[in-house]
Amino acid sequence: MTKVAVLLGGISPERYISYRSGWAVASALESLGYKVYRFDPAFGKDSLIDQLPPLPDEAPTPQQLAAFDPRNYIACITDSDLSSCELVVNMLHGPYGEDGVVQTLLELCGIPYTGSNALACRLAMDKARAKLLFAASGIPTPAWVTIEQGTALTNELLDELREQFRMGMVVKPNSGGSTIGISIVTSGNFDDIEEAIRYAWSYDHTALVEAYIPGRELTVAVLNNQALPIVEIIPQGGFYDYAHKYRAGMSEYIVPAPLDEMVAEFIGMLAVSAHRALGCRGITRVDFRLDEDNQPWCLEVNTIPGMTETSLVPKAAQAAGISFVELCQRLIEVH
């Protein structure tokens, strides 16, 4: 294999993070001797790019993303420049890249690609349905409800949510990522709950309301059905939002996480179980909260985890003795 296409950018709220991930992976593959072509499907038949554009610190707004036509993905995938490549490395985060859409297009065109297949990606991206599979597989996950856009946010409904989630709630887009559109509400104030739901709706038709679990933030990279060392995330003030994830110095990462050996082994087992429950392959990242009783709670599986200089999977791989370049090599070996 010599010619590899890297998909990056896209039209999701994680567009700029995808650029950083994709560019880093493409550069690593070039260092291994591969001929790498970079494609941003947001631009359709003109998607082949050769320079990294300026990347703002803030995520693009829904209005900015609305300027892109999703049909451009079809023009990109069917373009002869891309179809002539022997493998597509998909580094598109979020909707249209991580939810089975681009995977389906690639499968229809008979183009091999990295990562989980279309079905696994759809299941993982739909957080509520993924949680159903976690629960069915005996994987503990916080209690949740979904609220569809257009639902009347009456005082009765808001009171029910406050009663159900007495310890607080996390409100987020059901199919989002990078903590975009997320709020943590612990006040019980009706206005705060309504504002959080409407904020999630600005990014998705479905808002997921989930029990807030006080405790430690942990994540586990799964590489070819094996758990890598656990990473503990300690944001410097506030919670682990978009800024804390992608701005250097705003979060501390400890790997391996300082955990009791049996607890760490159990969390690693749960991560692999969650990966398998959704039918994933290759590299994924499974996020957890660990409460004060050392009970882990599985939040979600990321089928195309970030691969930036501040991303968690490369940190876990490094702790396991796997360099970033070797990690990228392994990424393209499973497809």
Is 285 designated active site? yes
Residue pair 70/106 in contact (Cβ under 8 Å)? The answer is: no
The DSSP secondary-structure symbol of 44 reads G
Is 14 designated active site? yes
The C-alpha angle 43, 47, 50, rounded to 5 degrees, equals: 125
Residues 107 and 118: their CA atoms lie apart, in Å, by 8
Is 300 designated active site? yes
Is 246 designated active site? yes
The catalytic position among 175, 246, 289, 311 is 246
Strands of 48-49's sheet in order across: 48-49, 35-39, 3-7, 87-90
**Cross-strand pairs, 249:** none
What φ, ψ does residue 218 adopt, rounded to 5°?
A: -130, 150
Residue 104 burial (CB count, 10 A): 16
The catalytic position among 12, 18, 21, 178 is 178
The catalytic position among 12, 14, 113, 162 is 14
| Cα-to-chain-centroid distance, residue 333 | 21
The catalytic position among 162, 216, 285, 289 is 285
The catalytic position among 9, 113, 300, 311 is 300
Residues 161 and 168: their CA atoms lie apart, in Å, by 9
Is 306 designated active site? yes
The catalytic position among 47, 183, 302, 311 is 302
Is 333 designated active site? no
Residues labelled catalytic: 14, 178, 246, 285, 287, 300, 302, 306
